Structure 1
Amino acid sequence: MYALLLTVALLGGYVLLWLLGFLGCALHRRRRPVPPGSDFLVVLGAALDGCEPAPVLAARLDVALERYAAEEAAGYRPLVLVTGGKGPHEECTEAAAMARYLIARGVPEERIRREEQAVNTVENLRLSAALMAAERPGYRCTVVTSGFHTVRSALAARAAGAPARVLGADGLLAYGPYQLLREAVGTALALPRTTGAALLLLAGTGVVLGLA
């Protein structure tokens, strides 16, 4: 019984530290300035309402529009890359819906690039990185996503080899604490080797110390 309680305590402590670390990273990225100078603004897809952006995606697109205007005001001419495929209950691809939203608000169609195959964050960044490298070798990009999603997006961009800065469209708790907690779990699952090794080590340590 003592071994079990010790193991549970160690694992619980690890989970708490992970959550605090995730929150710290997310807050750091929220406060970190993202200067202009991007070749691409990459807008990550999210759920649609029919064939229109739902609130989470609309918030990302609105910030992308602001960023697009700021880049142009600073003398840059970025392309906007919208990335997202068609979900099982969606009427069109997320990228198509995003492109229409941007065009309706003044972004020229020729300045928009679409990636319409990705079904998750890893694919968003991997497929987008390939498109950007093919069109503008040596590119720089800014990834626009939700505030709660910046940490996992940065990890995915790094894994894809994309030289990206990540911009959060809203606050970490804009969609409630559940979404932030869900994202922390998703980020842990995105690092299976690290997370698995840590959990196995702590579980083993708890058993050994408990039986000693």
Structure 2
Amino acid sequence: MKKFQIKPRHIVLALSLLAMLIAFMVYTVCVSGKYSYTENVGAKHLEADQVHAKSSDETVAKIVSVENYTEEGNNELKVTVEGVNPGDCVVTLAYRSPENGQMLVRTSAFRVLPIGVVYDLTIDSFTSLKAVIPLGVAAMLLIVAVLSLSFREKQRNGEFYYSMVIIGGIILFLLLNVIVTLTDSQLWSRFGEAVTIKDILALIVSSGNRFVMFSEIPVIMVAASLAVSNIWLVVKEGFRLQNLLGVVIAVLVAGGILTIRLSDNYSVIQPDALYYFAMLANIGVAFLLSYFECMFLSTMFCAVASTRYNPPYDMDYIIILGCAIRKDGTPTPILRGRVQRAYDFEQEQFQSTGKHAVFVPSGGQGSDEVISESESMKRCLMEMGVPEERILKEDRSVNTYQNMAFSKTVIEQDAGDIYTVKVGFSTTNYHVFRGYTLAEKLKMRVKGLSAKTKLYFFPNAFVREFIGLLWEKKWKHLLFIFLFFAVLLVLYLIIRY
């Protein structure tokens, strides 16, 4: 299996992100020696002698100015504090209300850091923090650009492995969050104001909700089409539970969206027990739904792309993945389609390059089968004119993983080394991507050949393969979900308290 290589674009990405971080730190040191905050004092203008501001320790921070200005019909007091030496102090702002003459006092706690940055302890903010949002958007766009190049390269080279799904899911999640952030007029209308750390954390925590909100309509359309295809499948093939997987997906999607909508106002729910339950339901379901939406949509794209890929005409061996045969030992239409696709490709390869490939029909004999699947495929190939010496049977496997694993052994016994030969595999279109992921698990470099199936059969079969893929990587998914939930919980507790 080809090892991961650090490519120039990965180095550029790492250096660019590092440069952004350094630029932010330099910017922070340059501009955050002063900090301004505002106080709304009502509709009437305040005179200078009506406002008094004082620092509890001017050797730590001093008041530079107190300005009175009008903003959208309201009078605002803008207090600017400048750091002097590291330490803590409290700034007291006292003014007489122009509305009723009552004396009002407001206090804010500040800490001057050793690098001279004035940190507002009251709301957890400093001057340069407002640059985090545009900088974060730029960083996400840069990551999306680099990952898109990697995704495109894998597609072009026929490397349809699980890493491609991960890359596609990250691209989708980041891109939609960038779009939602850029189009959030309320967020950008407050850009000139103080941005707090809690604001930033709230954006991160709500990323799942933003993704679900933006993708809601297309995802509902996909879920509805899966449900419709299942109805079509039941009409054509009869009622079976496995023919209703698309309906199950549609119900889960609809239930998840409904749960998010019903728990949207969890912040006003009382008592605390119900509040935490609604909060976890809202944030948790939104994250799970967005996570599996990204996985599903990315897998769907990768699966479709894998069926449209045209392998190069340089195959030494072509594995044909088995499936059930008829009672008389002849291939079913699905299995015959796989054999035909392998044969057609081999013929095209020979006509194009003059190079023949060896066929490896793979599949054992089930308890209800008169011969092995591999023997059935071998007979079919020989009927097509393939000489027996160019057919290597693998007749021990009982599932797709064993198809690949035992076929690898057969090829190694014939060729000596699996890594010195070119290997393809032929299977039905909905099954191609799964074949790639299983080959990756076995450290095999393969190229898939896609055999067509009935249109109404494809969506449900693909859902079944997707569920199989999730189950195959279940521990990675569970670990990622656990870690993400732990991070979300910590971030939310910081925001809350």
Give the match's secondary structure for 1:143.
strand
Matched to 2:440, the amino acid is R
1:88 aligns with 2:367: yes
Matched to 1:166, the amino acid is G
Q: CA deviation at 1:134?
A: 1.9
Matched to 2:332, the amino acid is A
1:120 — aligned with what?
Answer: 399
Matched to 1:119, the amino acid is V
1:61 — aligned with what?
Answer: 339
1:178 — aligned with what?
Answer: 460
Q: Percent identity?
A: 26
Is the CA contact 1:173–1:180 (under 8 Å) kept in the aligned structure 2?
no
Question: Quick one: distance in 2 between partners of 1:185 and 1:208?
Answer: 31
1:70 aligns with 2:348: yes
Larger displacement relative to structure 2 (143-152 or 191-200): 191-200
- Asked which structure has the greater CA Rg, the reply is 2
1:45-77, Cα deviation, whole Å (9 max, x unpaired): 012121221121111111111012112212112
Q: CA deviation at 1:130?
A: 1.5
Aligned counterpart for 2:435 among listed residues 147, 153, 156 = 153
Is the CA contact 1:68–1:78 (under 8 Å) kept in the aligned structure 2?
yes
1:137-195, Cα deviation, whole Å (9 max, x unpaired): 31111111111111111111122222211111126956231111111111121223322
Q: CA deviation at 1:83?
A: 0.5
Larger displacement relative to structure 2 (121-130 or 2-11): 2-11
Give the match's secondary structure for 2:361.
strand
Larger displacement relative to structure 2 (83-92 or 176-185): 83-92
Matched to 2:411, the amino acid is M
Q: CA deviation at 1:91?
A: 2.4
Is the CA contact 2:342–2:449 (under 8 Å) kept in the aligned structure 1?
no
1:45 — aligned with what?
Answer: 322
Q: CA deviation at 1:203?
A: 4.6
2:480 — aligned with what?
Answer: 198
Unpaired runs of 5+ residues, structure 1, are none
Check 1:126–1:56 CA distance in 2 against 1; reply closer, same or farther (3 A cut).
same
Q: CA deviation at 1:204?
A: 4.2
1:32 — aligned with what?
Answer: 309
Question: Quick one: distance in 2 between partners of 1:12 and 1:98?
Answer: 42
Question: Quick one: distance in 1 between partners of 2:441 and 2:324?
Answer: 24
Question: Quick one: distance in 2 between partners of 1:141 and 1:22?
Answer: 23
Is the CA contact 1:7–1:205 (under 8 Å) kept in the aligned structure 2?
no
Is the CA contact 2:430–2:458 (under 8 Å) kept in the aligned structure 1?
no
1:20 aligns with 2:297: yes
Question: Quick one: distance in 2 between partners of 1:134 and 1:174?
Answer: 40
Question: Quick one: distance in 2 between partners of 1:209 and 1:49?
Answer: 58
Is the CA contact 1:26–1:151 (under 8 Å) kept in the aligned structure 2?
yes
Matched to 1:100, the amino acid is R
1:169 aligns with 2:447: no
Question: Quick one: distance in 2 between partners of 1:149 and 1:44?
Answer: 10
1:99-145, Cα deviation, whole Å (9 max, x unpaired): 11111121111211100111112111111112112211311111111
Question: Quick one: distance in 2 between partners of 1:172 and 1:185?
Answer: 20
Matched to 2:306, the amino acid is R
Is the CA contact 2:430–2:465 (under 8 Å) kept in the aligned structure 1?
yes
Matched to 1:165, the amino acid is K
Q: TM-score, normalised by structure 2?
A: 0.40
Check 1:37–1:202 CA distance in 2 against 1; reply closer, same or farther (3 A cut).
same
Give the match's secondary structure for 1:53.
coil
Q: CA deviation at 1:93?
A: 1.2
Structure 1's consecutive aligned runs of 4 or more residues displaced over 6 angstroms after TM superposition are none
Matched to 2:287, the amino acid is L
Question: Quick one: distance in 1 between partners of 2:406 and 2:489?
Answer: 44
Q: TM-score, normalised by structure 1?
A: 0.90
1:144 aligns with 2:457: no
Q: What is the aligned length?
A: 212
